[in-house]
């Protein structure tokens, strides 16, 4: 596959009546759909997909990573969240790291065993099924499709094979080796090569039979601690056995008659809400034209302001006080919007220092119109690349996002949750709290600091420009990042955005990278959307809504698809 790879999907949206799933891997989507057909609900199917993706995309996700879940109850309209992110080991303090010679300027390598935080995904899977599932299927039944996939093997998909090989190379360049259980004869599997993972099959089977203790105590826990300690880390059996998910209340903001729901800190969902609040101060956004220089300029400036605030104020709320009410106040975002000039990029906006990531996002809506928006991640590819013996998965490196600056809100500490980039989202109408909010969509775009930017762009594609879910995902995207090497912001424009737009943005003072093409387009994330009815369609009158029809799209930048019945 060459660098001339294009991502024009030419797909129609998937339309169906009863239930729908959308993920980055067709085999995983099929397993999720099977769970719905067997009587499971959206939460059950989401966990089935999470486990299947752990098998098919270990270079992005797995039991060694973290997960977050947002769930809409189709009966009551209640929206609940589960924070499935793990804490740092109790012994991982700033004093300890400084004692080993590490500083803010010279932190541990991103692949270092010191960056392994407690894997929260398995507990999140168990709790999602227990608290939000149908109770018509056992956890064992929910995980059975993934177990079979791991035992029998599966042909590795094209883009997955590319990322698998890339991350193996990145680990080797850093002097690390990916565990042999995730290789074939010392190499990453090629596209179409059948990969079996008996270690992961056993881990998932035990998790289905015995629940959380099968992972956080006993054989798997010991293997995790052993491989971390053999490589200089400090995690203990106590760190693992004391872990639990946290049921949380989502946060939201209203934008032009709809309400976007995200998870609160330590997740960066707040950043997406801040962006929308700032953009609300520019009512002529649609008139500027999709991906025009005027539109992208305002979007980029909103992203810079929102990410600056997120990086300054976002951390573990059990360790620090986060001024959520103030940040989400419309008056505050109005003040922030005043800083944006329509003709000139802001001179300085100070951000923190963070790095990129690999993650999977997927969503499910069932026949009862329950919706589950779910994200699961190792952070950077295989994370640390450390594979606990006979377990079939690698351990995340999420701790690389901690700061080693003593007064930073995200400063490393024992038993602390790190600033988390992974965020699922839900969209409802903006009815008052006395009424049941109507579900409009489950949506998400994976990809580190691209995620809140992706949420906002695909939402605006639908709301402002009338795109269906597939068109909204197909459209070229913008990714704003802070380049710590130069100390400047960089605006990455995907191939398909006009050259004249790139030139005009440069004239306004932006540093622009255009066109971003081929496999480098992975930086724009991989999204999934399932919408209830065609509320985005300007030709549909209000009286024709709501609709029973589900409309779904799956990102062409991944191997996946939406499937319905």
The model's confidence at residue 542, banded by pLDDT at 50, 70 and 90, is low
HEC letters along 87-141: CCCCCCCHHHHHHCCCCCCCCCCCCCHHHCCCCCHHHHHHHHHHHHCCCCCCHHH
Tokens for 116, please give them: 């392994």
Q: What is the pLDDT of residue 4?
A: 40
> Quick one: pLDDT at residue 59?
95
Instruction: Give the pLDDT of residue 322.
Output: 79
pLDDT of residue 168: 94
Task: Reply yes or no on whether the pLDDT at 543 is more than 90.
Answer: no
Q: Match 């090569």 to its residue by tokens.
A: 193
pLDDT at 69: 98
Question: How far apart, in Å, are the Cα atoms of 20 and each of 144, 301, 530, 562?
Answer: 20, 36, 7, 7
Residue 433 confidence (pLDDT): 59
Q: Is 321 a catalytic residue?
A: no
User: In the predicted model, what is the mean pLDDT of residues 252-274?
Assistant: 94
Of 129, 149, 150, 147, which Cα lies nearest the Cα of 40?
129
pLDDT above 70 as % of the chain: 95
Other CB atoms closer than 10 Å to residue 434's CB: what's the count? 5
- 544: confidence class by pLDDT, cuts 50, 70, 90: low
What is the distance between the alpha carbons of residues 376 and 358, in angstroms, rounded to a whole number? 9
**pLDDT-derived band at 485, boundaries 50, 70, 90:** low
Stretch 29-41: mean pLDDT: 98
Confidence of residue 315 (pLDDT cuts 50, 70, 90): confident
425: phi then psi, degrees, rounded to nearest 5: -140, 155
- Full strand arrangement of the beta sheet holding 425-429: 14-16, 550-554, 526-532, 439-446, 425-429, 258-262, 251-255
Pick the closest to residue 170 from 29, 180, 162 (CA basis). 162
Concatenated DSSP letters of 320-385: S---HHHHH-HHHHHHHHTT--SSS--S----------EEEEEEEE-TT--EEEEEEEEESTTTT-
Write down the pTM of the prediction.
0.94
Q: Which one is catalytic: 253, 359, 384, 421?
A: 359
Average pLDDT over residues 294-316: 90
The predicted-structure confidence for 500-523, as pLDDT tens digits, reads as follows: 999 999 999 999 999 999 989 999
Average pLDDT over the chain, rounded to whole?
Answer: 92
Instruction: Compute the distance between CA of residue 308 and CA of residue 302 in angstroms, rounded to an integer.
Output: 10
pLDDT tens, residue by residue, 39-63:
999 999 999 999 999 999 999 999 9
Considering all CA atoms of the chain, what is the largest pairwise distance in Å, rounded to the nearest integer?
67
Please check the confidence at residue 545 and state whether its pLDDT lies above 60.
Answer: no
- Three-state secondary structure call for residue 80: strand
pLDDT at 301 > cutoff 90: yes
pLDDT tens for 106-155 read 999 999 999 999 999 999 999 999 999 999 999 999 999 999 999 999 99
Residue 491 has pLDDT above 90, yes or no: yes
Q: What is the pLDDT of residue 488?
A: 84
Q: Quick one: average pLDDT of 403-426?
A: 92
**Is a pLDDT exceeding 80 seen at residue 487?**
no
Q: Is the pLDDT of residue 23 over 80?
A: yes
**Residue 412 confidence (pLDDT):** 96
Ranges 111-120, 237-246, 413-422, 545-554: which has the least confidence: 545-554
The order of strands in the sheet holding 358-365 is 246-248, 79-84, 66-72, 371-379, 358-365, 20-23, 561-564
CA distance 484 to 391: 36
| pLDDT at res. 223 | 98
What domains, with CATH codes, occur in the chain? 34-62+86-243+357-415 (no CATH), 248-352+422-564 (1.10.246.130)
**pLDDT of res. 3:** 36
pLDDT band at 368 (very low <50, low <70, confident <90, very high): very high
Cis check: omega of the bond before 515, within 30 degrees of 0: yes
């Amino acid at each position: 596959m060459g660098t001339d790879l294009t991502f024009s999907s030419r797909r129609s949206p998937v339309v169906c009546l009863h239930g729908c799933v959308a993920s980055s891997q067709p085999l995983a989507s099929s397993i999720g759909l099977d769970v719905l057909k067997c009587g499971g609900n959206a939460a059950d199917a989401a966990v089935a997909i999470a486990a299947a993706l752990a098998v098919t995309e270990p270079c992005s996700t797995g039991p060694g990573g973290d997960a977050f879940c947002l769930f809409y109850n189709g009966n009551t309209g209640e929206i609940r969240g589960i924070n499935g992110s793990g804490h740092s080991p109790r012994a991982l303090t700033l004093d300890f790291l400084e004692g080993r010679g590490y500083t803010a300027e010279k932190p541990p390598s991103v692949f270092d065993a010191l960056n392994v935080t407690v894997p929260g995904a398995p507990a999140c899977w168990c709790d999602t099924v227990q608290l939000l599932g149908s109770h018509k299927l056992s956890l064992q039944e929910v995980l059975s499709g993934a177990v079979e996939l791991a035992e029998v093997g599966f042909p590795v998909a094209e883009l997955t094979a590319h990322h698998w090989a890339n991350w193996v190379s990145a680990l080797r360049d850093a002097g690390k080796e990916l565990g042999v259980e995730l290789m074939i004869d010392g190499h990453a599997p090629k596209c179409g090569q059948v990969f079996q993972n008996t270690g992961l099959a056993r881990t998932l089977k035990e998790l289905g039979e015995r629940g959380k203790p099968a992972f956080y105590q006993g054989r798997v826990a010991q293997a995790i601690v052993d491989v971390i300690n053999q490589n200089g880390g400090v995690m203990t059996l106590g760190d693992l056995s004391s872990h639990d998910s946290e049921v949380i209340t989502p946060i939201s903001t209203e934008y032009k008659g709809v309400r976007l729901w995200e998870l609160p800190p330590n997740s960066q969902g707040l950043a997406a809400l801040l962006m929308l609040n700032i953009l609300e101060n520019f009512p002529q956004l649609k008139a500027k034209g999709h991906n025009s220089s005027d539109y992208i300029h305002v979007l980029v400036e909103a992203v810079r302001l929102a990410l600056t605030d997120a990086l300054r104020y976002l951390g573990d709320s059990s360790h620090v006080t986060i001024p959520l009410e103030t940040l989400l106040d419309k008056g505050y975002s109005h003040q922030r919007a005043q800083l944006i000039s329509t003709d000139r990029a802001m001179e300085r906006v100070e951000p923190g220092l963070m790095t990129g990531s690999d993650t999977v996002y997927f969503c499910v809506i069932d026949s009862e119109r329950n919706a589950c928006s779910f994200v699961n991640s190792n952070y950077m590819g295989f994370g640390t690349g450390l594979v606990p013996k006979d377990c079939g998965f690698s351990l995340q490196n999420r701790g690389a996002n901690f700061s080693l600056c003593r007064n930073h809100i995200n400063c490393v500490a024992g038993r602390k949750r790190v600033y988390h980039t992974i965020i699922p989202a839900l969209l409802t109408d903006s009815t008052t709290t006395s009424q049941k909010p109507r579900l409009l969509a489950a949506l998400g775009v994976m990809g580190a600091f691209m995620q809140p930017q992706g949420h906002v762009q695909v939402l605006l594609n639908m709301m402002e420009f009338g795109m269906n879910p597939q068109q909204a995902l197909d459209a070229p995207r913008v990714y704003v990042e802070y380049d710590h090497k130069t100390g400047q912001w960089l605006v990455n424009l995907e191939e398909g955005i006009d050259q004249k737009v790139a030139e005009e943005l440069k004239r306004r003072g932006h540093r622009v990278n255009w066109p971003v093409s081929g496999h480098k387009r992975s930086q724009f994330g991989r999204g999934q959307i399932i919408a209830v009815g065609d509320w985005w369609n300007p030709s549909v009158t209000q009286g024709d809504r709501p609709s029973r029809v589900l409309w779904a799209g799956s990102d062409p930048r991944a191997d996946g698809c939406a499937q319905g019945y």
